[in-house]
């Protein structure tokens, strides 16, 4: 609390020193960012459990490839945008965004593009003191050969998992939550863009609708920090608006007992349950419009 007050006094001091030169939004964000964030009231263990639940953005990229949609670089955040991110808050969000973009390039075997994203990721990770997780030499070697795609995917997925665990151990889980929020929003942005281009593809619309479940988790995670972190408070407000659009969607589930068989020592389950997503095209348009707006705000 004391640190927050000092930070706020700092902002007031800036105004007071030169009333003609008002600080920009970025400057304010930077100052707020330097204020030490108090730990949220909720335990690290609970936060870690919720973080663990969030599915990897890779799953959406894989779906897009399986749906035979073409690789489209224009959906991704330009790796050159790096200079836009001048606070830990922005860097952590951007790291999540670039992580998803890297996964997308990986899934489509676009190794040259992957290298650009890796460079930006390494730079952001260094700034956030988590650069040690990226052995850039090994990653680049893997990225230059498409035969190494599986290894590259594996190593980058492992790195992002390790970063999350490390940040939580370091009591910097606010950054972990931002990384995850940025990554999830980027995956939602990409699938929304592809869906807009392919309006007849019902599976893509359902994928957007299903994000309602993850939206609830992301909003919950952000809510833990709103009292202590002014930047997250603002982001959480925008995510809450998105959540209210998702709340207009209904997911109906019919449960049936599963059946089983053993194949090569592995239990193979036949899931006989089913679910239906009740939503309209207007719901999808409203969600996508809001996603574009929030994402634009994050990357610029």
Partner 1 sequence: MKKLIFALGIILVTTSFNKALAQCDTEKHVEACIPKLQEGYTFLKSYSIDGEGGAKKKVEYSYVFTKGATYQVLICNDGQSTDGIILTLYDSNRKPVASTKYEGSTLKAIAFPCQVTGIYYITYTFEGSTNYCGGSVLGFKR
Enumerate binding residues for partner 1 (CB under 8 A): 49, 52-56, 58-59, 62-63, 66, 150, 153-154, 157-158, 161, 203, 206-207, 210, 213-214, 217, 251, 253, 255, 258, 260, 262-263, 265-275
CB of 48 or CB of 81, closer to partner 1 = 48
CB of 120 or CB of 207, closer to partner 1 = 207
Q: How far is the CB of 270 from partner 1 (least distance, A)?
A: 7
Q: How far is the CB of 148 from partner 1 (least distance, A)?
A: 14
Q: How far is the CB of 268 from partner 1 (least distance, A)?
A: 5
Where does residue 157 fall: left (phi above 0), alpha (psi -120 to 50 degrees), or beta otherwise?
A: alpha
CB of 28 or CB of 63, closer to partner 1 = 63
Q: How far is the CB of 197 from partner 1 (least distance, A)?
A: 20
CB of 8 or CB of 63, closer to partner 1 = 63
CB of 25 or CB of 255, closer to partner 1 = 255
- Radius of gyration over every alpha carbon of the chain, rounded to an integer in angstroms: 21
CB of 161 or CB of 280, closer to partner 1 = 161
Q: Give the distance from CA 196 to its chain's centroid.
A: 20
Cα(185)–Cα(163) distance, rounded to whole angstroms? 19
Cα(15)–Cα(8) distance, rounded to whole angstroms? 11
Q: How far is CA 282 from CA 147, 192, 249, in A?
A: 42, 13, 11
In 3D space, the residue among 90, 74, 72, 73 whose CA is nearest the CA of residue 82 turns out to be 90
Q: How far is the CB of 65 from partner 1 (least distance, A)?
A: 8
Q: Torsion over CA of 63, 66, 72 and 74, rounded to 10 degrees?
A: -10
**Coil/strand/helix, residue 217:** helix
Q: How far is the CB of 165 from partner 1 (least distance, A)?
A: 10
């Amino acid at each position: 609390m004391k640190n927050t007050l000092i930070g706020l006094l700092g902002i007031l001091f800036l105004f007071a020193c030169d009333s003609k030169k008002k600080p920009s939004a970025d400057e304010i964000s930077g100052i707020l960012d330097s204020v030490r964030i108090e730990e949220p009231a909720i335990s690290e263990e609970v936060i870690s459990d919720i973080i663990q639940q969030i599915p990897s953005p890779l799953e959406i990229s894989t779906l897009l490839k399986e749906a035979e949609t073409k690789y489209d670089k224009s959906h991704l955040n330009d790796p050159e945008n790096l200079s836009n991110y001048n606070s830990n808050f922005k860097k952590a969000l951007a790291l999540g965004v670039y992580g998803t973009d890297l996964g997308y390039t990986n899934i489509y075997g676009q190794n040259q593009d992957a290298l650009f994203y890796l460079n930006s990721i390494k730079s952001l990770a260094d700034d956030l003191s988590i650069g040690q997780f990226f052995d850039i030499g090994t990653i680049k070697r893997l990225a230059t050969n498409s035969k190494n795609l599986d290894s590259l995917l594996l190593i980058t997925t492992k790195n992002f998992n390790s970063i999350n665990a490390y940040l939580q151990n370091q009591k910097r889980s606010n950054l972990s939550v931002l990384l995850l929020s940025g990554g999830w929003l980027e995956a939602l942005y990409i699938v929304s863009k592809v869906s807009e281009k392919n309006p007849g593809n019902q599976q893509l619309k359902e994928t957007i609708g299903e994000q309602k479940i993850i939206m609830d988790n992301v909003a919950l995670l952000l809510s833990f920090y709103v009292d202590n972190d002014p930047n997250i408070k603002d982001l959480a407000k925008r995510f809450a608006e998105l959540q209210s659009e998702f709340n207009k969607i209904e997911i109906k589930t019919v449960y049936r007992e599963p059946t089983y068989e053993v194949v090569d020592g592995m239990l193979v389950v036949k899931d006989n349950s089913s679910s239906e997503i009740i939503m309209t095209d207007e719901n999808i348009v409203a969600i996508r419009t809001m996603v574009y707006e929030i994402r634009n705000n994050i990357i610029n």
